[in-house]
Structure 1
């Protein structure tokens, strides 16, 4: 058969695209490399849970507080008012999404993408079947590349797809104890310390019966496992049994183009849609899958390949400003421990706390408090120009 769309990748982005297209009546195939679990803190905002109908049994923990920790071990606890941050375990969450896409009507194939072929009969996706080891070929009209930060689809098909900047993330999933050391099963800890990561951050995120402890960096030569071991030790988690260890790239900037002008559009990490500064990717991946599905459906209906450009246009219309602000924050504060110290000081401000988490929960910049924005801007400028001490709040 000739599928309307073949989706390469079965993470949150690919599964969302496959499910949306299948539910709208299109014939869809989804190729997934089963067994791969992406290193991820697992945080999902309420808007994701609502927009994508995530059942409560997929939420392994509900976080009520975020703690920011500076290089000198000063900390500030930010309460999450009027809601919570949900935590998912990617091992189970991704499989839940794959099963849901299949139940919606998508055909699921397990294997590894090899290449795209085109001939007089049309476009074909070639993959190596996991069980047989043989190459198989799926014919289709369009392709959605949702195969991660170092996407082979993007490298082969989309200009700039081989040059996306990224950090390497590494984490260890451990058996979580009750409250011990500095660990609190209802609090996410974000560690801004050059000894852990010289250009990003470390994290300790509860997952109910387990926890994710890890860090990310784009600096060559950093020993990720050694840094994570130090983080576990500092958190009182060194002796907890390790369940699994995972590492993978996380993109830092959306690509300037997401389609090849013919029959391919990118989604999720393949398109670079991970939020700067926070590294948050699950929500943006699922939104990326949804807009890719929308663009593919529009192209199939109209026959105009330029409609593939709708995916990036729709995503950036809603999220470009947030990405720009977060990118500026990362560039301003992640470059040295002195800057990180100032960033944590800024987080003591109540307006910063409220506006930050309102934006996180709702996925848009808050415009309802102009005076709060002005005050934050003045404090931000004072810290960046060193007019105030980083020890002051």
Structure 2
């Protein structure tokens, strides 16, 4: 019998399984495998440090972010004293699963079906990938880390089947040589309603390849056509297409992450993708760590209420950042005129420094209160249209 079965082997599930295995718990990691999530692949220094990511997993190091407006104006924001690492989920996710297994987690490959219970006994039921037969894993607790359309969440958590989703799509292409439009050390973020009416498009370097994609909440948008338009606008239409991937991304954290019985969620299953930026890898891994902490506390004390620690610990550190990013998305992603204003605001050096300090360290910076006040006034003036747009 296992103490914990982790359903889902992405960054959240693999991290939870590794943490629990390293602390001496008997853990099973159940994953479908073969699925690659569309993802720009950016990971900040804090993730690299907190989760001990080796340099060989970084396929590129980015030192500049270019924000591009609907009219093609751009602002280059340089990363001071550091870089953003880039990973390819095709390789990064298996690396995390292998590391969990090396720590002691026992791997199973198949598709989660349901949880069966009989008195105090419970089993995770899954369809084995090789045999196609239903198999069962007996366990005390379950961590659901099976993605945005989580079966675990839908079956076990109130409201778990009603998560609002952004649909993301990207194409991995053979990267061109550096030129006046493509820089292998720069991430391009495109705020253009013609590409996405409510989110953004991206061109992220991956060393010898690049990720080009977009996301939207609107179901009537053709993601492939929008990505083709983005490639055309970015001078990348001629590049060889190596992979095409699409998947839903949750828009906001769920209200409940556990069923007050034997299940707790993490990662996309819990809805922990940052608003505005869509960043998910760091928050998924941190969510996995919080779920592992909650499960370990529950096993140690026998108090099921400790499952709620997963959400409490995560929100204690990241709720304010999520709220600020949600407010920014609500304010600026509503129209192209607002997106133009947003790119203009990004010219401000205080905005650039505070934004990247918060991104790199995953905390709102409190060291310069006067800068925060100044940014607040500028933000109001930009939204009111009282500031002339800066042209580049």
Relative to the length of structure 2, the TM-score reads 0.99
Q: Deviations over 1:249-290 (max 9, x none)?
A: 111101111000000000000000000000000000000000
- 2:135 is matched with which residue? 136
Question: In structure 2, how many angstroms separate the alpha carbons of the residues matched to 1:128 and 1:334?
Answer: 42
* Pairs aligned (count): 392
- 2:198 is matched with which residue? 199
> Quick check: 1:180–1:236 contact (8 Å CA) kept in 2?
no
Change (3 A) 1:330 1:163: same
Question: In structure 2, how many angstroms separate the alpha carbons of the residues matched to 1:39 and 1:138?
Answer: 30
Deviation at 1:387, TM superposition (A): 1.7
Question: In structure 1, how many angstroms separate the alpha carbons of the residues matched to 2:126 and 2:369?
Answer: 53
- 1:230 is matched with which residue? 229
> Quick check: 1:145–1:264 contact (8 Å CA) kept in 2?
yes
- 2:106 is matched with which residue? 107
Question: In structure 2, how many angstroms separate the alpha carbons of the residues matched to 1:328 and 1:250?
Answer: 18
Gaps of at least 5 residues in structure 1 are none
- 1:179 is matched with which residue? 178
Gaps of at least 5 residues in structure 2 are none
SS at structure 2 position matched to 1:289: helix
Question: In structure 2, how many angstroms separate the alpha carbons of the residues matched to 1:252 and 1:82?
Answer: 31
SS at structure 2 position matched to 1:248: strand
Deviation at 1:181, TM superposition (A): 5.2
> Quick check: 1:8–1:31 contact (8 Å CA) kept in 2?
yes
Deviation at 1:120, TM superposition (A): 3.4
- 2:365 is matched with which residue? 366
Any residues of structure 2 matched to 1:72-151 within 5 Å, and which?
72-120=71-119, 122-151=121-150
Question: In structure 2, how many angstroms separate the alpha carbons of the residues matched to 1:322 and 1:392?
Answer: 29
- 1:8 is matched with which residue? 7
Deviation at 1:220, TM superposition (A): 1.8
Q: Could you list the structure 1 runs, at least 4 aligned residues long, displaced by more than 4 angstroms after superposition.
A: none
Question: Does 1:267 pair with 2:266?
Answer: yes
Question: Does 1:37 pair with 2:36?
Answer: yes
SS at structure 2 position matched to 1:188: strand
- 2:316 is matched with which residue? 317
Question: In structure 2, how many angstroms separate the alpha carbons of the residues matched to 1:99 and 1:332?
Answer: 42
Relative to the length of structure 1, the TM-score reads 0.99
Question: In structure 1, how many angstroms separate the alpha carbons of the residues matched to 2:151 and 2:388?
Answer: 47
> Quick check: 1:145–1:270 contact (8 Å CA) kept in 2?
yes
- 2:354 is matched with which residue? 355
Deviation at 1:180, TM superposition (A): 3.2
- 1:327 is matched with which residue? 326
SS at structure 2 position matched to 1:160: coil
- 2:249 is matched with which residue? 250
Change (3 A) 1:303 1:175: same
SS at structure 2 position matched to 1:184: coil
- 2:299 is matched with which residue? 300
Question: In structure 1, how many angstroms separate the alpha carbons of the residues matched to 2:219 and 2:10?
Answer: 27
SS at structure 2 position matched to 1:123: strand
Any residues of structure 2 matched to 1:15-26 within 5 Å, and which?
15-26=14-25
Deviation at 1:320, TM superposition (A): 0.4
Question: In structure 2, how many angstroms separate the alpha carbons of the residues matched to 1:314 and 1:325?
Answer: 18
CA RMSD of superposed structures (Å)? 1.0
Deviation at 1:121, TM superposition (A): 5.9
> Quick check: 2:189–2:203 contact (8 Å CA) kept in 1?
yes
- 1:214 is matched with which residue? 213
Deviation at 1:386, TM superposition (A): 1.6
Q: Deviations over 1:282-311 (max 9, x none)?
A: 000000000000000000000000000000
> Quick check: 2:61–2:83 contact (8 Å CA) kept in 1?
yes
